[in-house]
Amino acid sequence: MRENENYWKRLRSRPLSRRSFLVGSGVAAAGSAAILAGCGDDDDDDDGAAAPAATAAATQAAAADEADEAAAAEAAAAAEAAAAAEAEDAKRGGTLRLWKGGEDAGLDPGIYHINNTEVIYSTMTQPYTYQPTKNVFAMDGMVGYEQVDPTTLVWSIRPGMKFHNGDPVNSEAVAFSFGRLTKLYDLINPHTTRTGFVFVDDFEATDDLTVTEHWNRPNADAPVYRARHYYSFVNPRIVEEQGSLEGEWTAPDGSTENVNSVQTLPEGVGSGPYKIVRRDATGTRTERWPDYHKHTPADDGFVEDGPYIDAWETRIIPDRGSVKAAFLAGDLDVYAAIDPLELPEFEGVDHVNVVELPAGGAAFLGMDGGKFHDKRARQALQKSLDYDRIIQTIWTAGGKLAAPISDLIAAYQKLSQEELATWYRWDPQEARALWAAADFVVPVETIKLFGGVEDPLLSNQVQLYAGMIEEALGVETVTEFVDSNTWAARATDISTDVKDWELLAYGTGTAGGTTGVPNDSHLINFDPRGYGLNAFNHWAGSPRPEVAADSEVLIGMLNAQEAETDPEARAELLTEVQRWILDNHYCNWRMPISAVSYFGFNSRLQDFAPDNWLNFYSLRRESMWLEDA
C-alpha cells in the first residue's frame, strides 16, 4: 500500500509545534539568506565583470564587512537562543491546582475512570492524544502507526522510554497493556468501553518497538480509541508481581491465566512525567519525575524536555458551590463549565479568565419501545414539543437543535440546522392525529417523564416538555425525579417488556466534550446494542416486530459506517444513519442544547488551549505553564 493510500496517514494532520515552527523558520530564513547571497554573488559577479579595476582595498573592506556581519549574525543568533532558553526556563515550575468531586475508585487505568484521570494523565504514558475538533493526533508514547491492511494496524513505540523503576517500555509492555483490557472486561466489566477492542483478535509484539493489532473486521475508530487513557502503558512486571488478582481468565482456546489489577498504582507501574506522592481522602499530589523521556519531535501540546509545570495538586471538593468559592478566591487554576446564569459572579475578578466555546452538551428524551412501538406514536410525541419555545425559554444565551451525533465532530456532522428543523417541527394538530392513529399494544393513559434529581435544570426542562406534551396530545403527564443510581436501575430494568416510565430524560445540554468517536457522541444512545437494548426496549430481540425489524436495519447501518475507513465515505454513511434515525423517530430524541458554553480558568494558567476542553485529553497538555511559577 502506498503511503498516500493510508487512510490514517491522510486523516492525521500532524500539528506544527512551536519548536518545529522555529526550526522551520530558521531553515527557511537560512535558505532565503543563501538565495539572497547567491543573488548578491551574481550581482557582484556582474559588478566585477563591469568593473575589473576594483581595488584590493575595497575587496578587503568588503571581506571585513562580511566577517563583521557574520559575527553579528552569530551573536544575534546566540542572543536569540539565550533569550529563548531563558523564556523556556521562565515557564518551568509551579504547582497546578485542580479539584475533583470525590475520591478515586482505584487508579488502574484499565478499570474505573472515576475521579482518577488526573493521576493517570500525569503518571502514565498513552499512545497519543487526539483533539477531535482540530482532528489532530499528537504523539506521546507512540511515534507513528500504519494501517497496513484493513484489519492490521502496526504501531511504532517511542524509543528510549522507561517505567519509573527503570524497566524499559517496549512492545511486550504495550501489547500486555492493551491485551489486558479485554481480560479485565471479561472478569469485572470495568468502565472501559469494550467497543474500543471488541474487533481486535490480538495485540502482537512484533519486535522490540513494534506492536501489531490483528482485527477480525475493519474499524475506523480504532486509532481514536487508542488515545483514551485506558490504553496507558503499564509495566507487566509490576502488574504481575504487585498487582491484585482479579480472577482467572479463560482464553477462547481454553487456556487460562491470572489477571491482575493495579488499583493502588505501585511504584514503577507508570512511565509518565510525574510520580504520585500523595493519595488520601483530601486528594492527590503528583510531582515531576526527573528521568522522564524526551519527546523529539514534540507534537502539539508536548514539550521536548517534559512538562513545564512541576507538580499537580488535586483537592477533593464534593460541593460545586465550594469549588466556585475556592476558584474565585484564587485557590484553583481550573473551574470548568460555568452556568451562564452565574457569569456575572465571575466578571471583574482579576485572576479569572472566562472563555466562550461551542457547547457540546447532550440532552435526551428516550422512549420506551415496549409502549411506543408504533412509529406514529413516537412521531406524535416529537411533534408535540415546541422547539423554538424550548430554546427561547431554556437557552437564553443561544440554543440549537441537536443531531444524533455531536456537531463537535465536524468531519462527520453534515446535517445543518435547517435540515434538522424539518424533523424538529412543532405541530400539535398533526401530533394529536398521529397519536390517535397510533397502535398501542399496551395502552398509554398517562405519560411519565422520568429523570434524575441531581440537576435542577433537568427538572425545569422536563416540566416544560411535560406541559407541552399534555397540551398537544391531551394526555395526562406526570414527572418523577429520583437519585441517579435509582434512575439508572429503573432505566435499565429489562425484566419486563415495558418500563415503569414512558419517557426517560437525561442530560441538560449545557457544556460537554467529545472523544471524537461517533459511537460515543452520541450514537450509542440510539444503538440497539447500547442504550436501545439496555434502556429503551429498542433492540433486535424486541417482542414488537416493527421495533425488531427497525433495529436490524439500524445495526447494519451502524456496522457499515464503523467499518468504513475513508473519511468522506464514512461521513456520508453517518449522515444516512442520522437521517434514518430521525425519519424513523427511533428510540431516542436529542433535545435542543445550548449553542455556547463558558469555561473558567485562572489567568496565571497559560497555553491551556481552552478548546481542548472539548475533548478528554486536556490534562495531557505538557505545554501549559504557570505565569507566576
Partner 1 sequence: MTGYIVRRLIAVPLMMLAISFILFMLLFVRPGSAAFAASGFVGDNDPKAVERFEERYGLNRPWYAQYGDWLWNAVQGDLGVRLTPPQDPVTDKIWERLPNTVEVGLLTVVLSAIFGITIGVLSAVRRNSILDYVLRTVAIAGISVPNFWLAILVLTLPAIWWQWTPFASVWVSFTDNPLDNLAIVIWPAMTLALASAAGTARLVRTSMLEVFYSDYVRTARAKGLQERRVIWSHVFRNSLIPVITLIGLQFGAVLGGVVIAEVIFGIPGLGSLTLAGVLAQDYPLVLGTICIFALLFVLVTLAVDLLYTVVDPRIQY
Q: Rounded to an integer, what distance in angstroms lies between the CA atom of residue 235 and that of residue 177?
A: 8
CB of 388 to partner 1, least distance (A): 30
Say if residues 109 and 235 touch (Cβ distance below 8 Å): no
Helix (H) or strand (E) holding 130: strand 128-131
CB of 324 to partner 1, least distance (A): 7
The neighbour count for residue 91, using CB atoms within 10 Å, is 19
**C-alpha dist (Å) from residue 431 to 106, 428, 434:** 49, 5, 5
Q: Does 331 bind partner 1 (CB under 8 A)?
A: yes
CB of 430 to partner 1, least distance (A): 31
Question: Which of 191, 214, 217, 389 forms a contact with partner 1 (CB under 8 A)?
Answer: 191
Q: Does 484 bind partner 1 (CB under 8 A)?
A: yes
Nearer to partner 1, 101 or 160 (CB): 101
| Burial class (CB within 10 angstroms; exposed 0-12, middle 13-18, buried 19+) of 504 | buried
Q: Does 345 bind partner 1 (CB under 8 A)?
A: yes
Binding mask 50-69 toward partner 1 (x if CB under 8 A, else -) reads --------------------
Residue carrying C-alpha cell 434538522:
420
Q: Does 512 bind partner 1 (CB under 8 A)?
A: no
Select the span of 22-30, 310-318, 369-377, 415-423 touching partner 1 (CB under 8 A): 310-318
Select the span of 54-62, 292-300, 329-337, 425-433 touching partner 1 (CB under 8 A): 329-337
The three-state (H, E, C) secondary structure of 513-555, written as one string: CCCCCCCCCCHHHCCCCCHHHHCCCCCCCCCCHHHHHHHHHHH
Q: Which of residues 242-301 bind partner 1 (CB under 8 A)?
A: 263-264, 280-282
Dihedral sign for Cα atoms in the order 176, 285, 121, 124: negative
Say if residues 106 and 116 touch (Cβ distance below 8 Å): yes
CB of 513 to partner 1, least distance (A): 15
Nearer to partner 1, 106 or 268 (CB): 106
Binding mask 532-571 toward partner 1 (x if CB under 8 A, else -) reads --xx------------------------------------
Residue carrying C-alpha cell 441531581:
454
Q: Does 311 bind partner 1 (CB under 8 A)?
A: no
Nearer to partner 1, 279 or 293 (CB): 279
Nearer to partner 1, 355 or 488 (CB): 488
**Chain center to CA of 223:** 12
Q: Rounded to an integer, what distance in angstroms lies between the CA atom of residue 239 and that of residue 242?
A: 6
Q: Does 627 bind partner 1 (CB under 8 A)?
A: no
SS3 (DSSP) at 280:
strand
Q: Does 26 bind partner 1 (CB under 8 A)?
A: no
Question: Which of 27, 35, 441, 494 forms a contact with partner 1 (CB under 8 A)?
Answer: 494
Q: Rounded to an integer, what distance in angstroms lies between the CA atom of residue 409 and that of residue 560?
A: 18
Task: Give the interface with partner 1 as residue ranges (CB under 8 A).
Answer: 102-106, 111-112, 114, 187-191, 193-195, 263-264, 280-282, 313, 315-319, 321-322, 324-331, 345, 349-351, 482-486, 488-494, 524-525, 527, 530-531, 534-535
